[in-house]
Structure 1
Amino acid sequence: MVVDSRSRTRASIVESAAKLLREQGADAVTTRAVAQAAGMQAPTIYRFFEDKEALLDAVAEHVFATYVSSKTLAEDSGDPVADLRAGWDAHIDFGLTNAALFGLLIDPARGGGSPAAAAGLAVLQARVRRVAAIGRLRVPERRAVELIHAAGTGAVLTLLATPPQQRDPGLSAAMYDAVLRAILTDAPALPTGDATAAAVAFRAVAPQLTGLSDAERSLLAEWLDRAAGAV
């Protein structure tokens, strides 16, 4: 019962701080303001969080974890390329809707050990792997993931730095199309003449070859990575 009460109090603090962050920015997340919004005394905050930075970290983790969970639960449409685009659109929308939080998440000074951020990257990696498995990827999976991640972050930052009324509504789509041209083949299925795309596709499904030993799968993965230009 005590544990449940403590968990509820902590959750109330985090949710109140998240609301302030979303509506007024990071500067508004003060101990006094959060305590007032949560209906408690300011000293209570310090029973759960060492300082404002620790509270902001918890807020970022909470909000982003909720977002990632919704991405993880999203149904596979059966079209890996379409699912990749849906993930891009969701990422851009999240960044623009949660400007202050997005700034916290990409700030190198805050560290890169967020479990939610790692889970979000895993969702992107899984979607890219599904694209690779149907023979549509012309570059190694890691390169595709890094290009998409970098382009998405850059697009959000550029849009956030522009006054809303002056933003180019087509910027995000143009950026995504440019990335697609760099990472996708034109063919809808395994291309017969594109050895790199074939190697990337085979690499995506190689871990499922249960007839091979761990050592054999590891060696096969190394060969395919070399063929795809990943090493």
Structure 2
Amino acid sequence: MQITPVSPDVLVEEVAQLVADRPGRVRLALDGPPPARPIVLAERVAVRLRELGRAVVVVSADDFLRPASVRLEYGREDPDEFLDGWLDVGGLRREVLDPAGPEGSGRVLPRLWDAAADRAYRDGYTQLPPDGVVVLAGALLLGRGLPFDMSVHLRMNPAALARVITDEERWTLPAYTRYSAERDPEGSADLLVLADHPDRPAVRRV
């Protein structure tokens, strides 16, 4: 096992090259808790991939949450429901991941549900070309059977996550503990990034 410290710029380049080396459409998951900044990495990777000639749609998992009446059925601070029931897995498959697959139409919806307003977005669809890329960024994405072509897990150890998570999100910590224990994101990801300090990441390779 080798741990290699890298700069954020080098990490962006490494993730982008993983995708660029793969022909056809690619569905990439960037998985990590909010303090690990998966959406920031997604936007930077998208810029680099566009420079390399690939069309990219960045999708935030926060725009594919289930309606409040469903996701908050057991209260606003239920960590088990946060892990198991908040993400609209069916909506992600239907509107993003299946259409972006090799046999899909390429017609993807970047945003589905505005959780703050608790209503659907009115976004139009985006047509991906045959070599287009979807980058899905967010937390607790792996181990759900979603059809990703490759995945990157931004790991924060429990102590580091507890230090930096906001007070409003502290109730989610048990969900991240369960996620690590039950769904093995470290073992299933194509690339594991140690992100205790997002400005000073490291890549762990076997």
Please, what TM-score do these two structures have when normalized by structure 1? 0.25
Structure with the greater alpha carbon radius of gyration: 1
- Greater fraction strand: 2
Kindly indicate whether structure 1 or structure 2 has the higher relative contact order, using CA contacts under 8 Å at least 6 residues apart.
2
